Amino acid sequence: MGISLGLSARILQFSTLVCLGLWSQQIFAAISIVLKPKTPAMGEDVLLFTGGVTGNISFFIWYRGDKINSSSQILFYNLATPSEQTFLPYTGRVRGFPNGSMEITGLNRNDSGSYTVQIQTTTQQEEATVTITVYGKISNVTITSNSTSAYLWAGEDSVRLTCTALGDEPRFSWSNNGTSLPRDPRYQISANNESLTISPLIRSDASIFTCTAFNSVSQNSSSLTLDMYRTPDGKIQCAHDTKEQVMLRCSWPGGSPAANVSLQILSINDTEQNEVTRNMPKQNIVFNHTLFCHGYHINQNDTCSQEVYYCNTFWCRHKEVVIVIGVLVGLAFIGLTVYLVRRSKKKTSHEVNTIRSQAAIPQPAEMMYAHVSKKFKNQKNPNSLPLEKREQEKNNYADLTLPVVQANIPESAYSEIKDF
C-alpha cells in the first residue's frame, strides 16, 4: 500500500513537471525582444526592448549568448529592492529597466552576437534570445584617379576614378555636379560601382564627380574635380576708357588653368589671372603712351597693345562742337569756291564780248591809215619822182604822228597798208 502511494505521487510529480515544461515553452514563445534601432552602429546605443511578459516581474537577468550560464551574466535587476548589478566587461555600459529591457551604450564590433533574458514573475519564469549585429559606420571615403597629370586634354585622354571607404558592407553610387550620372556610353561603371571610367573625356567633363558610400547604418561621400586643359577664348584684349579716371584693362578669359595676364604702362606692371584692370588719374596720361597686355597660358602666349591718351584742351573736351564747326567751315569753303568760279566765268565772257565789239568799230588809226592810203593812191610811183621830191615826201611821213591805240587792230586795216 505504501509502495502504491509512493508510485502514484511520483507519477503525479512527473506529470506536473511535464505540464510545467510545456507551459514554460509556450510562455517562452510569447516573449519578444525588439532592437531599437534595428541596425545598431558602432559608437551608438541600442535598446533591447522586452515585450509580451505576463504577470508582475520580480527580477530578471541578462546573459551574453544564447544559453543561460552564470558565468555569462551581464545584468541582474531586482525590482523588490529595487537594485541592479552589472558584470564585466559591461560594467558602466549597460542599465536595466523595470519592464525587463536593457540598454547597451557605446557599441563596438565585439558587441555583435546573441543576448538572452530570463524573467521571473510572481507566477512563472520566462526566457527570450536576440542577436545583434553592430555595423561599422562609413568613413574615410576617398576617390583616386589613375591619371598621372594634374590636367587632362579633352578629346585625347581617358580617366578611371576609384572609390574606397571604411565601414561594414559599403556600397557605392556616383553623381556629377550633384545629379545622377546621365546615360552616356562614355561612362563605364564597374560591377560593384566601385570605379567609374570616362573615355574619351570631353570639355564638359571638367566638373565635380562625387562618390557616395553607404551601408545599413550610415553614408558618407567624397568629391573630385576633373581639371582639364582649355585654351583661353580668342585673342588677348586691350582696352581703355576715359571717364572720371582712365580705366585700363587687359583680359584673356576662358582658359583652364586660368591664363596669367600682365598689364604694362608707364611705371605700372601688374599680373593677375584672366583679367587685370587699373585706374589712373587723367593728368598722368599724355599723348602717345602705349598700353601693353601680355598673356601666358601653359605653352601659349599672346600680346596686344593700344595707344592711350587724354587731351584736356577745348577741342578734345568738346568734340561735338569741333565737328559741327568743321562741317560749317567746309560748307562755307565749298560755297566760296563755287562763287569765285562762277564770277570768273562771267568776267571772261564779258571781256570776250568787249573785244569783239571793239574790233567791229573803225578806230582813228584805221581811218588815218586809210586816209594815207587814199592820199597816195592817185599819185605816181614815188620812185619815178625826182630825188629832191622823194626826200621831201619822206620828211612828210616822218612828221606823221599816230595815236596809241589800246585795242587790237584788225588784220584788214594792216592789209590796206600792205597793199600800198
DSSP state of 365: H
More confident residue, 97 or 12: 97
User: Reduced to 3 states, what is the DSSP secondary structure of residue 123?
Assistant: coil
Q: How far apart are CA 105 and CA 48, in angstroms?
A: 11
First vs last C-alpha separation in the chain: 219
Over residues 356-399, the pLDDT tens digits come to 666 555 555 444 444 444 444 444 555 555 555 555 555 554 45
pLDDT of residue 345: 76
Which stretch of DSSP H or E encloses residue 281?
none
Render pLDDT for 326-357 as a digit per residue (tens, 0 to 9).
Answer: 788 888 889 888 888 888 877 766 665 666 66
Residue 139: predicted pLDDT: 94
If you compute the radius of gyration of the chain from its CA atoms, what whole number of angstroms results?
Answer: 63
Helix locations, 361-400, DSSP H: 364-375, 387-398
Residue 63: per-residue pLDDT = 96
- Mean pLDDT taken over the chain: 79
Helix/strand/coil for 222 = strand
CA distance 58 to 121: 5
More confident residue, 377 or 170: 170
Query: Which residues make Cβ contacts (< 8 Å) with residue 182, sequence separation at least 6?
Result: 176
7-39: pLDDT as tens digits: 444 444 444 433 444 344 444 447 899 999 999
For residues 209 and 195, the answer to whether their CB atoms sit within 8 Å is no
pLDDT at 4: 45
Summarised one tens digit per residue, pLDDT across range 225-256 is 988 887 888 898 888 777 667 888 999 998 87
How open is the CA angle 192-193-195, to the nearest 5 degrees? 110
Q: How far is CA 107 from CA 35, 45, 335, 348, in A?
A: 13, 6, 106, 125
User: By the 8 A CB rule, do 291 and 265 touch?
Assistant: yes
pLDDT of 61:
95
Check: CB of residue 237 under 8 Å from CB of residue 251.
yes
pTM: 0.51
Q: What is the pLDDT of residues 63-86, one digit of tens each?
A: 999 989 889 999 999 998 878 999
- Residue 109 in this model has a pLDDT that exceeds 70: yes
